[in-house]
Structure 1
Amino acid sequence: MTASADAEAAANELTPLADYLGSVLRRLRALPPLDLDLTQAHGNVLAEDVVAPHSFPAFDQSAVDGYAARWEDISGGGRSMGYVPTQSGGPGGRNVRLNVVGDLGAASWRPVRLTPGACFSVAAGAPLPLTADVVVPVEWTDQGMAAVEIFRVPKRGYGVRRAGEELPAGTLLARAGTYVSPALVAVFAATGIGHVVVRPSPRVVIVATGDELVDVGRGSQPGQTVDANSHALTAAAAEVGALAYRVGICDDDPEGLRGLLEDQTLRADLIITTGGTGTGPGDMVRRILSRREGSRAGPVTFTEVALYPGTSLGFGTVGAEEVPVVCLPGDTGSALIGFEVLARPAINLLAGAEPVFRPSVRAHLLETISSPVGLREFRPAHVAERRGGGYTVQPLNGGPYTLSGLAEANGLMVLGERVTSAAAGSTVDVLLLDRRR
């Protein structure tokens, strides 16, 4: 049997990634809803539909700084104070002059009425006088105080915002599952909403395991590895919108690991461990969490998944509260890929967010690449929009060099289990990462 045939046979024994994800995500449920003050709701997902209790705007108001008037007075159909001959302005090239009978600001509340030939000086947001149906912008006038001369006549309704014009009472503002953005917070507040029912942000605890780990601020030496994983995964969880807590380093001590995880179940909706998922002599996480007790299987199942980089993933629950736990590999690049394909969807599902996976596009490959047989590879890449439409994708470092590739990537190229090579010019799937760069 050839080496490629051996590799294909070994890959056939692995669990397909889609099957594995389906089995894991079916075990998770969105967190119970929570009634939050509007100031705390940003970043969460709505648990129920939200309907406007009041209209927006709440009353007829001026949209600009200017003069609130009756359109028939400035168009020549009413009894204005008079016309002043000019080259532009009102009918027949004459400017319009009106009496200014008062000032209205945003804090004005007494109802007032316009009489023929009169106007009010108004600020943007001020309530409109009764019978006013136009606001002449300040710059279209001589900005008079007792009387104002209008150089240019706007159309009827210009500068006016009617009550409920944008959002009438009873409007469906957002459906359950909608992300609460800053703009949506403004819409809720403007229509009189002070509380909303949301899915809370999941509390995610990150634990790095291994006797070899040392904290950041130094270089790695033989027998020591700097703990990059817990810092990176905490940042990744926070990027999804979780309340992320980095516990730090846990040595390969069975009792210490059990005690740490038990303690963390009191404040976690999800626990992420990194390291120890393989079958080597130092892989304590797998050995402890998958251990059988009597006739019962351990709380966490470790699976060899057809995923590259990193094949060994663990999922289950820990503690009396049965808090979900995701176990990721110790290699930093593999851990970050494992987070993307498993932990990130789990966090989104707990938060009630849809879709749980990142958006993807089809892109034209700029260079020929190879991929391991039988494994679904996630390769860091740089994706760009083409001037004529569509996308191109440039592969970056992958495989054992995934970490350096991820640092530059704004996408993850996905190559299926049956793909052993992809030619330049072919079309591939790309998950979109952060597009701000």
Structure 2
Amino acid sequence: MTATADAEAAANELTPLADYLGSVLRRLRALPPLDLDLTQAHGNVLAEDVVAPHAFPAFDQAAVDGYAARWEDISGGGRGPSYVPAPSGIRGGRSIRLNVVGDLGAASWRPVRLTPGSCFSVAAGAPLPVAADVVVPVEWTDQGMAAVEIFRTPKRGYGVRRAGEELPAGTLLARAGTYVSPALVAVFAATGIGHVVVRPSPRVVIVATGDELVDVGRGSQPGQVVDANSHALTAAAAEVGALAYRVGICDDDPEGLRGLLEDQTLRADLIITTGGTGTGPGDMVRRILSRREGGRAGPVTFTDVALYPGTALGFGTVGAEEVPVVCLPGDPGAALIGFEVLARPAIQLLAGAEPVFRPSVRAHLLETVSSPAGLREFRPAHVAERRGGGYTVQPLRGGPFTLSGLAEANGLLVLGERVTTAAAGSTVDVLLLDRRR
């Protein structure tokens, strides 16, 4: 049997990534809902539909600073040397004069009524006088105080916002599953909502394992590896909206690891470990968490998935509360890719967010690339929009294991299990990364 045939035979024994993800995500449920004050709801996902209890605007009001008037009073004649040609959408005519009978600001509350030939000076947001159906912008007048001369005549209804014009009472403002953005907070507040029912942000604990690990602030040397993973994964969990807690480094001690995970179940909705998922002599996480006890399978199942990089992944539950745990490889590049394909969707599902996967596009490949047979590869890449529509994608140097490539990437080029070579000019799938830069 050739080396290629050997590789294909080995790949056929791996679990397809789609099947694995489906089996894991079906075991997770969104966190129980919470009723939160509006100021605390931002960044969460709604657990219920939200309906406007009150209209917005709540009353007829001026949309601009100017003079509230009756349109029939300003659509007539006057004298014309100061007339200026009207811009598009504005009626032309000769200037007229109206008596200014009062001023109205946003804090005005007493109802007032216009009489023929009169107007009120109004600020934007002020309640409209009864019978007013137009607001003349202040710059279209001589800005008079006792009387005002109007040089341009707007259309009827100009500068006026009617009650409920934007959002009538009873309007469906947002459906369950909607992310609470700052603008949505403003909509809720404007329609009289002070509390909303949301899915809480998942509490995610990150643990790095391995006797060889040392903390940041020094360089790696033989027998010692700087722990980059727990810092990177904590940042990745926070980026997706989780409340992320970095526990730090845990040695390859069976009792120590079990005790640490048990302790963390008290404050975690999801635990992520990194390192020790393989079958080598130092891969203790897999040995410890998959060990059978009392004839029962271990709390975590480790699966060799058709994924490149980072074939070995683990998923299960720990502790009496059965807190989900995701076990990722120890290589930093493989850990970050594993987070993207497994841990990130799990966090999204716990948060009640939809969709759980990142958006993807089809893109024009700028460079020929090769990929391992039988594995679904995720490779750092740079995606750009093409002039005239569509996207191009440029694979970044070093392939999927390089941290520098992942740091530069704004997308992940996805090459399927059957792809061994993707030619320049072909169309490929790309996951879009949300990079805030």
CA contact (8 A) 1:140 1:151 kept: yes
CA 224–400 in structure 1, closer or farther in 2 if over 3 Å, else same:
farther
- The one-character-per-residue Cα deviations of 1:242-267 (angstroms, maximum 9, x if unpaired) are 01111111111111111110010000
After superposition, the Cα gap between the structure-2 partners of 1:206 and 1:87, relative to the gap in structure 1 and judged at 3 Å, is closer
Deviation at 1:397, TM superposition (A): 3.0
Change beyond 3 A, Cα 1:57–1:89: closer
Q: Deviations over 1:159-178 (max 9, x none)?
A: 00000000000000001111
CA deviation after TM superposition for structure 1 residue 402, in Å: 2.9
Closer/same/farther in 2, CA of residues 91 and 202 from structure 1, 3 Å limit = closer
Q: Deviations over 1:207-266 (max 9, x none)?
A: 001111111111111111111100100010011110111111111111111111001000
Which sits farther off after the overlay, 74-83 or 125-134? 74-83
Aligned to 1:435: 435
Residue pair 1:46, 1:196 contacting (<8 A) in 2 also: yes
Structure 1 residues 304 and 101: alpha-carbon distance in aligned structure 2, compared to 1, 3 A threshold: same
Q: CA deviation at 1:71?
A: 0.5
Equivalent residue runs for 1:105-254 within 5 Å: 105-254=105-254
| Alpha-carbon distance, 1:284 to partner | 1.2
Deviations 1:155-197 (A, max 9, x none): 0000000000000000000011111111111000000000001
Structure 1 contact 81–99 (Cα < 8 Å) conserved: no
Provide the residue aligned with 1:277 in structure 2. Answer: 277
| C-alpha distance in 1 between matches for 2:80 and 2:196 | 50
Q: Distance in 1 between matches of 2:77 and 2:391?
A: 58
Deviations 1:44-83 (A, max 9, x none): 1111110000000000000000110110110018999999
Is the CA contact (8 Å cut-off) linking 1:84 and 1:97 kept in structure 2?
no
Q: Do the aligned residues in 2 keep the contact of 1:84 with 1:96 (CA within 8 Å)?
A: no
Residue deviations 1:308-366 (CA, integer Å, cap 9, x gap):
00100000000000000000000000000000000000000000101000000000100
CA contact (8 A) 1:74 1:90 kept: no
> Partners in 2 of 1:238 and 1:77 — Cα distance?
65
**TM-score normalised by structure 1 residue count:** 0.96
- Structure 2 gap ranges (5+): none
CA distances 1:97-156 after superposition (whole Å, capped 9, x unpaired) = 111111111010000111111111111000000000000001111111111111111000
Q: Which segment drifts farther, 382-391 or 88-97?
A: 88-97
User: % of aligned pairs identical?
Assistant: 93
Provide closer, same or farther for how the CA distance between residues 89 and 343 of structure 1 changes in structure 2, counting only shifts above 3 A: closer
Distance in 1 (alpha carbons) for counterparts of 2:306 and 2:224: 30
User: Contact 2:92–2:153 at 8 Å: present in 1 too?
Assistant: no
Structure 1 residues 279 and 119: alpha-carbon distance in aligned structure 2, compared to 1, 3 A threshold: same
Pair 1:245–1:379, CA change in 2 (3 A): same
User: Aligned-pair distance for 1:410?
Assistant: 0.3
Cα 1:254/1:151, change in 2 over 3 Å? same
Instruction: Give the Cα separation in 1 of the matches to 2:85 and 2:415.
Output: 76
Instruction: Using structure 2 for the length normalisation, give the TM-score.
Output: 0.96
User: Contact between 1:206 and 1:247, CA under 8 Å: does it hold in 2?
Assistant: yes
CA contact (8 A) 2:209 2:276 kept: yes
Deviation at 1:401, TM superposition (A): 3.5
CA separation of 1:425 and 1:51: change in aligned 2, threshold 3 A: same
- Sort the Cα spacing of 1:265 and 1:396 in 2 relative to 1 into closer, same or farther, 3 A: same
The residue that corresponds to 1:68 in the other structure is 68
Q: Structure 1 residues 394 and 80, CA, compared in 2 at 3 Å: closer, same or farther? A: closer
Aligned to 1:211, what secondary structure does the other structure show? coil
Kindly indicate whether the alpha-carbon contact (under 8 Å) linking 1:88 and 1:151 is maintained by their aligned counterparts in 2: no
Conservation of the 8 A alpha-carbon contact between 2:90 and 2:152: yes
Contact persistence 1:307–1:376 (CA under 8 A): yes
- The aligned residue for residue 415 of structure 2 is 415
**Mapped partners of 1:148, 1:81: distance in 2:** 16
Partners of 2:227 and 2:140 in 1: CA distance: 66
Q: Is the 8 A contact 1:379 1:402 kept in 2?
A: no
Answer with 81-90 or 386-395: which moved more.
81-90
SS of the equivalent of 2:129 reads coil
Distance 1:283 1:401 in 2: 19
- Of residues 81-90 and 186-195 in structure 1, the stretch that sits farther from structure 2 once superposed is 81-90
**In 2: Cα distance, 1:306 partner to 1:204 partner:** 26
* 1:83–1:96 contact (8 Å) kept in structure 2: no
Q: Give 1:399's aligned residue.
A: 399
Q: Aligned with 1:94: secondary structure?
A: coil
| Distance (whole Å) between structure 2 residues aligned to residue 319 and residue 90 of structure 1 | 71
Would the aligned equivalents of 1:86 and 1:94 in 2 still touch at CA under 8 Å?
A: no
In the TM superposition, what is the alpha-carbon distance from 1:431 to its structure 2 partner?
0.3
> Whole-Å Cα distance in 1 between the matches of residues 85 and 344 of structure 2?
71
Looking at structure 2, the residues matched to 3 and 85 of structure 1 have their Cα atoms a distance apart, in angstroms, of: 83
The RMSD of aligned alpha carbons is: 2.6
Aligned to 1:36: 36
Aligned residues between the structures = 437
- Residues 5/148 of structure 1: CA separation in 2 closer, same or farther (3 Å cut): same
Contact 2:82 2:151 in 1 (8 A): no
Contact 2:77–2:93 (CA under 8 A) maintained in structure 1: no
Three-state SS of the structure 2 residue aligned to 1:90 is coil
Determine helix, strand or coil for the equivalent of 1:392.
strand
Given that 2:373 and 2:418 are in contact with CA atoms closer than 8 Å, whether structure 1 keeps it comes out as yes
How has the CA–CA distance of structure 1 residues 310 and 416 changed in structure 2, closer, same or farther, with 3 Å as cutoff? same
1:283 offset after TM fit, Å?
A: 1.0
- How many Å separate the matches in 2 of 1:86 and 1:398? 63
In the aligned structure 2, how far is the partner of 1:277 from the partner of 1:349?
23
SS at match of 2:89: strand
